[in-house]
Structure 1
Amino acid sequence: MVKQKVLLSEKVIKDIHSLVLMDNRADRGIYRRVPVTIMGAVHTPPQPYLLPTRMEQLIIKYQGCFSHVVERVSQFHLEFEAIHPFIDGNGRTGRLLLNLELMKEGYPPINIKFSDRKRYYDCFTSYHINGEDPSEMVSLVREYLEEELLRYIEIVRNANEMSKFQ
């Protein structure tokens, strides 16, 4: 998908979710059929009958957005998680989608560390409390990208140093 720069679509989202829930045939790639609440969240996801429309709107909005990829994927991730389209696996699916979109633009994937989970979840709270301002998630994604890029640069430097001795 990265090499082919496959356009983000409902099919791509459902295919990735199917991989995430590989061991759960009944729910993989299928929008939830029941209302849910997210523990500790300040927002309630939409009712199941609204999911196809909300997901379609999210994809159209994302495809029509021309801001920098970090801002675009951060906004998408916040909105995807707010919709919470699946009964399980939304976070994993959302983070894989975020990385897919970063990689299609030539960036390395990021791994939001378990030790940063509070900050990560606070980004969602901030988004809903502060008028859908994605700036905290943008900062988090930007910091992780910078960390990964610096790590890649260090690997290349070390490889260059090692090649001098061969």
Structure 2
Amino acid sequence: MEKDILEVERKHLSNVIKECDEKHLLEVEDKFKLTYTYDAVGMGENRIPYEDVKRLSQSKALLEYSEREQKEILNHLKAYEFVKNEAKSTKVFDEEKLKDIHEILVEGIFQGGCYRNVNINIFGAAHQPPDHIKVYDRMAKFFRNLEQFKGNPLEKATYAHASIAKIHPFVDANGRLAKLVLNYFLIKEDFLPISIPLESRETYIAKLEKFKIEKDLTPLTNFFKDLLIKRYEEVLKELDI
């Protein structure tokens, strides 16, 4: 039986890391963190170029951008570090942790960690988020389902991501939150985190809509698996020793 290519790449990287310089590993991780923040924030209305995301991460302020644009970048960098640390702990992923991540994402922009009390519409989407009065019940069901989930780690990570994107529990930053939750579950199971490239936005949205409308998780899971394999290939190339 042919071995799963993702598992092969995963084991290969594990062996390479043992022989790799720690400084080199940190450089690869820092590069990913910037790329991931650029992609995740860029999915919305924030269009700060990658080089300026890098500059902002170092200087903490760029006068040519609005305060909100800068906070979205800096908050995302901070939220990603929080997610990495939390994923490596033994704590259970619960509602409090989800709200903590959201609070970090929107710190200094608006009050985070509070479920929306208004209805929202996603322009151009075939599926619209549930009425705000249903959010609490939908989120309670989500956490129950997550606890009882029977699939493999990638399927569980995809389910968590897609469910948050579908419910849209907060007024804003749901997309960034859902991507951070995806990576929380990947990191927790010793996978590399992934970023959804801006050029793959339409493909990603189409597969996410498939889940929202038909409850079919397979296309999105396969999409993420392909991104994971590509990420392992890229990291192995960068760490080539």
Instruction: Pick the TM interval, shorter chain.
Output: 0.7 to 0.9
Return the match for 1:4 from 75, 89, 92.
89
Alignment of 1:15-54 (within 5 A): 15-26=100-111, 28-54=112-138
Number of aligned residues: 156
Q: Is the 8 A contact 1:5 1:104 kept in 2?
A: no
- Give % identity: 27
Native 8 Å contact 1:84 1:90 kept in 2: yes
| Conservation of the 8 A alpha-carbon contact between 1:71 and 1:138 | yes
Q: Match of 2:87, SS?
A: coil
Structure 1 segments, 4+ long, off by >6 Å, are none
Say if 2:238 is the partner of 1:155. Answer: yes
- Please say which of residues 81-90 and 118-127 is displaced more in the overlay: 118-127
Q: Which amino acid aligns with 2:209?
A: T
CA contact (8 A) 2:158 2:221 kept: yes
Q: What are the residue-to-residue correspondences of 1:66-105 with 2, within 5 Å?
A: 66-105=150-189
Question: Structure 2 counterpart of 1:49, which letter?
Answer: I
Q: Could you give the per-residue CA deviations for residues 98-154 of structure 1, whole angstroms, max 9, x where no partner exists?
A: 00110000001100001100011111222234x211111101110111111122322
Q: Distance in 1 between matches of 2:158 and 2:122?
A: 19
CA distance in 2, matches of 1:75, 1:40: 23
Residues 161 and 182, structure 2, Cα contact 8 Å, conserved in 1: yes
- Stretches of structure 2 that go unaligned for 5 or more consecutive residues are 1-85
Partner residue, 2:206: 122
Q: Which has the higher helix share?
A: 2
Q: Could you tell me the TM-score, scaled by structure 1's length?
A: 0.88
- Please list the CA deviations of residues 74-119 of structure 1 after superposition, one character each: whole Å capped at 9, or x if unmatched: 1222121110001000000000010011000000110000110001
Letter of the structure 1 residue corresponding to residue 196 of structure 2: I
- Structure-1 residue corresponding to 2:83: none
Mapping 1:47-66, distance limit 5 Å: 47-66=131-150
Matching residue's letter, 1:120: Y
